[in-house]
Chains A and B, each alone.
Chain A
Amino acid sequence: MTQTLPYLSETSSQTAGPYVHIGLVPSQAGFDIFANNFTNNLLVPGVAGEVITIEGRIFDGSDTPIRDMLVEIWQANSFGRYNSPEDQHKSLKLEPDFRGWGRTGTDFETGLFTFQTVKPGRVGDQKQAPHVSFWMAARGISMGLATRMYFGDEAAANAADPVLNVIEQAQRRQTLIAERSMRDGKPVYTFNLYLQGPKETVFFDV
Chain B
Amino acid sequence: MAITEGQLFQRNRSLHPPAHSPAYKTSALRSPQIPLWSLQNTISEISGPTFKPAELGALDHDLYSNYAKSGDPIGERTIVHGHVRDENGRGVANTLVEIWQANAGGRYRHVNDRYMAPIDPNFGGCGRTMTDENGYYFFRTVKPGAYPFRNHINSWRPAHIHFSLFGTSFAQRLITQMYFEGDPLIPMDTIANTIPDKAAIERLVAKLDLNASIPLDSLAYRFDIVLRGRRSTLFENKLQGN
Interface, chain A (partner B; CB < 8 A): 6-24, 26, 29-31, 33-36, 60-62, 64, 66, 68, 72, 74, 76, 82-87, 89, 99-101, 108, 123-124, 128, 131, 133, 135, 137-146, 148, 163, 166-167, 195-196, 200-206
Contact = CB atoms under 8 A, between A and B. Distances in A.
B220 interface: no
B162 A205 contact: no
Contact of A128 (B27, B42, B48, B56): B42
B124 A10 contact: no
Contact of B126 (A8, A15, A26, A124): A26
Nearest to B25: A140
Nearest to A69: B30
Contacts of B55: 36
Given A140-B26, A201-B32, A203-B36, 15 more contacts: A9-B12, A10-B226, A14-B175, A14-B177, A17-B162, A18-B110, A22-B101, A29-B111, A30-B110, A33-B126, A36-B56, A87-B43, A142-B21, A195-B29, A195-B30
A21 B110 contact: yes
Contact of B173 (A7, A36, A144): A144
Interface in B53-89: 55-57, 60, 66-67, 85-89
Interface string B19-42: 101001011111111101111011
Nearest to B203: A11
A83 B177 CA distance: 29
Nearest to B99: A23
A206 B113 CA distance: 33
B103 to A, nearest CB: 11
Interface residues of B, number: 86
B15 A10 contact: yes
B131 interface: no
A137 B111 CA distance: 19
Nearest to B15: A12
A60 B117 CA distance: 31
A135 B45 CA distance: 11
Dominant secondary structure at the B interface: loop
A187 B176 CA distance: 36
Contact of A19 (B9, B110, B176): B110
Nearest to B57: A35
B150 to A, nearest CB: 10
In the complex, the 3 A-B pairs of residues with the closest C-beta atoms, listed nearest first: A23-B100, A140-B26, A142-B17
A16 B175 contact: yes
Nearest to B54: A36
A100 B37 CA distance: 24
A143 B126 contact: no
Interface string B80-117: 00000111110000000011110000001111110000
Contact of B191 (A15, A23, A135): A15
Given A8-B85, A85-B168, A133-B45, A26 B124 contact: yes
A13 B16 contact: yes
B43 A82 contact: yes
A19 B108 contact: yes
A11 B36 contact: no
A161 to B, nearest CB: 10
Most chain A CB neighbours (cut-off 10 Å) among B55, B85, B164, B227: B164
B46 interface: yes
Given A12-B15, A142-B16, A99 B49 contact: yes
9 contacts: A9-B87, A18-B112, A22-B126, A29-B109, A62-B29, A82-B43, A82-B47, A128-B44, A201-B32
A205 B110 contact: no
Contact of B17 (A14, A30, A101): A14
Contact of A14 (B5, B18, B191, B226): B191
Contacts of A31: 67, 109, 124
Given A31-B124, A138-B30, A205-B11, A12 B197 contact: yes
